[in-house]
Amino acid sequence: MTQVKPMRADARRNYERLLEEAAVAFGEHGEGASLDDIAKKAGVGSGTLYRHFPTRQALLEAVYVDRIEAIAARADEIAAVLPPGEALVEWLNELALSMIEVRGLKALLGSAVSDGSSAVLAVCGTSVRGAATRLVEGAQREGTLRADVLPIEVLRLAHGVAGASELANGEGTHIRRYLTLLTEGLRA
């Protein structure tokens, strides 16, 4: 078994500064933020950024992994207090709203619910897909969701709802309406 060597203190500081600057940059400019600018603002060279995060996707994932885990955990919290069908809709509302409020998150989640071949799926996609699966299966057992609906389809549709709401006004105020229109078509 290979042991993972702990990061040196300076490498850990560089890593943390890169994450902080990336969060700011993605928040201001979305997932297309300049990686060179992120490195510069963190006080490191581009090589250091790429040593820690070989791809833009890896950096996005590192910045948002806690947020994604929290979104996935919300599924169980909501399911504990609402009936399964309502819990699914409420969670999808929160998921879609997060995709609008947190710039860069929609792109990251989009790749996580695409064809499943992305390395991003390993970390963020797994928890979100697991949450969706639990909620979808609960709603199907309850009889409020069609039996032929797949969790990945629901996630892709939520991604689309977030995009549609952005087109409407960019603030997410239309998400609940769009989800209602969508879920009425998915009912058993």
Q: What angle do CA 55, 58, 59 make, to 5 degrees?
A: 95
Class of domain 7-54: mainly alpha
Which residue intervals of the chain bear CATH 1.10.10.60?
A: 7-54
- Could you please state the CATH topology (level 3) that the domain comprising 63-186 is classified under: Tetracycline Repressor; domain 2 (1.10.357)
Task: Note whether 78 and 144 are within 8 A (CB).
Answer: no
pLDDT at position 109 is 79
Instruction: Give the span between the Cα atoms of 128 and 23, in whole angstroms.
Output: 20
pLDDT at position 153 is 92
pLDDT at position 11 is 81
pLDDT at position 66 is 86
Token code pair at residue 156? 């892709």
Residue 116 backbone phi and psi in degrees, to 5: 85, 0
Radius of gyration of the chain, Cα coordinates, nearest whole angstrom? 18
pLDDT at position 127 is 87
pLDDT at position 2 is 53
Task: Note whether 188 and 136 are within 8 A (CB).
Answer: no
**HEC-encoded secondary structure of 96-152:** HHHHHHCCCHHHHHHHHCCCCCCHHHHCHHHHHHHHHHHHHHHHHHHCCCCCCCCHH
The pTM for the full model equals 0.79
Which residue intervals of the chain bear CATH 1.10.357.10?
A: 63-186
Residues whose CB falls within 8 Å of the CB of residue 27, separated by 6 or more in sequence, listed in order:
102, 103, 104
Tokens 């879609």 correspond to 96
Residues whose CB falls within 8 Å of the CB of residue 26, separated by 6 or more in sequence, listed in order:
33, 60, 63, 103, 104
pLDDT at position 173 is 77
pLDDT at position 115 is 58
Instruction: Give the span between the Cα atoms of 138 and 108, in whole angstroms.
Output: 26
pLDDT tens series, the chain, 188 aa:
555 567 688 888 999 999 999 999 988 888 889 999 999 999 999 999 999 999 888 898 888 888 889 999 999 999 999 999 999 999 999 999 988 888 777 777 777 666 555 554 556 678 899 999 999 999 999 999 999 999 999 999 998 888 888 888 766 778 888 888 888 887 77
